Every structure is written in structure tokens, then in C-alpha cells.
Amino acid sequence: DESGSTSKRLVGHSGPVYGVSFSSNKYLVSCSEDKTARLWSLETMSNIVCYKGHNYPVWDVDFSPEGIYFATASHDKTARLWTCDHIYPLRMFVGHLSDVDVR
């Protein structure tokens, strides 16, 4: 880019993006008001997977240090553990009395 800008725009969510987390290797995961998390390739700058399951907006996401697993937290009072190579959550953490964060 002639302007020297290093920013890129990733298009996929249908609502505001509330959080992002970078893996230690080649991925970015984002979470949104649209109740989803999306996995992006930083090599191709494209969406790889759209993770669905939360019933309300997803406002927090964080990769594990290995960059394979990530957790999401939602206004639905649940947290979910995901892996980059599977579209369904590995585990759901339910029973919270209020909103949750993953950090």
C-alpha cells in the first residue's frame, strides 16, 4: 500500500465486533453482537469458520497460549471452549448468575 498503512478490513460479522484475539501462529478469532465467533486466517485474510451456539451477543474471546483452543463469553451467561478444528464447542460452562468474561 502506497500510504504505508498496515491495516486490513475483515468482512463477515453482521453486527459490531466486541473483541479479537490473536493466536501465537496464524489465526485471529473475533466475537460479535451477531452471537457468533469467527476464525480468520492471517495468511489469506479470509474467514475460515463461523462458530455459532450462543443465544446472545458474544462480547469476549481469548486464545489459549497454544493457539489451538479459545474461549468465548456471552450475555447469555455462558462461556464456551472451542478448538480451531471443530465447529461445535468442546465444553459449555453454564450456571452463572450474571454475565461472564474469559480473562
Which pLDDT belongs to residue 70?
Answer: 97
Which pLDDT belongs to residue 74?
Answer: 94
Cell readout for 8 is 486490513
Phi, psi of 83, deg, nearest 5:
-130, 150
> Is the Cα torsion angle 8, 10, 16, 19 positive or negative in sign?
negative
- The answer to whether residue 61 sits within a structural domain is yes
Which pLDDT belongs to residue 4?
Answer: 66
> Based on the structure, what is the number of domains in the chain?
1
Q: DSSP code of 7?
A: -
- The answer to whether residue 42 sits within a structural domain is yes
- The answer to whether residue 33 sits within a structural domain is yes
- The answer to whether residue 11 sits within a structural domain is no
- The answer to whether residue 36 sits within a structural domain is yes
Instruction: Indicate which CATH number applies to the domain containing 79.
Output: 2.40.10
Which pLDDT belongs to residue 15?
Answer: 94
Q: How many CB atoms lie within 10 A of CB 12?
A: 14
Q: How confident is the model over 12-66, as pLDDT tens digits? A: 899 999 999 999 879 999 999 999 999 999 999 999 999 999 999 999 999 999 9
Which pLDDT belongs to residue 68?
Answer: 92
Q: Could you tell me where the DSSP H helices lie in 6-100?
A: none
- The answer to whether residue 10 sits within a structural domain is no
Q: Reply yes or no on whether the pLDDT at 73 is more than 60.
A: yes
Which pLDDT belongs to residue 49?
Answer: 95
- The answer to whether residue 87 sits within a structural domain is yes
How far is 32 from 98, CA to CA, in rounded Å?
19
In which domain, by residue range, is 47 found?
17-93
- The answer to whether residue 99 sits within a structural domain is no
Which pLDDT belongs to residue 3?
Answer: 65
Which pLDDT belongs to residue 39?
Answer: 97
